[in-house]
Amino acid sequence: MTYIRARYDNRPNTARQTLENLSMSSCREVIEWDYGDVGVMWGLVDYKKVLKMRKMPVAKMYLTAMILRNAHNTMNGSNTALYFELQPPTFEVWTAVGPRE
């Protein structure tokens, strides 16, 4: 099995470390789906030749793309929600929560 990034890289691992690597690997893969979605939905934030550090607000652009992706997922669902067998909140509930302080 291929690990995305194993917490325990020293070999040989104990049985517990091997089990933790296996269980966490699948979760890390699912999280990467979210970042892949952002690149697919808003290709500009994934285009390295266009984005220029210190000349463009790259972090703000990516954060905005992630917020819009989350809003899209509340209305249309996502692979992550299907994988974990969870329903995302409705758009109304999601927007009613407001920003975190």
Q: Does residue 11 lie in a domain region?
A: no
Question: What's residue 9's pLDDT?
Answer: 62
The band of 64, judged by pLDDT with boundaries at 50, 70 and 90, is very high
Q: Does residue 27 lie in a domain region?
A: no
For residue 82, give the 3-state DSSP assignment. helix
Q: Does residue 20 lie in a domain region?
A: no
Q: Does residue 69 lie in a domain region?
A: yes
Domain span at residue 85 reads 32-97
Q: Has this prediction a pTM greater than 0.85?
A: no
pLDDT tops 70 at residue 1: no
Between residues 10 and 52, which one has the greater pLDDT?
Answer: 52
Q: Does residue 10 lie in a domain region?
A: no
Q: What is the pLDDT of residues 24-61, one digit of tens each?
A: 777 777 778 888 888 888 877 777 767 777 778 888 88
Number of domains in the chain: 1
Report the candidate in 54, 51, 55 with the shortest Cα–Cα distance to residue 65: 51
Q: Does residue 93 lie in a domain region?
A: yes
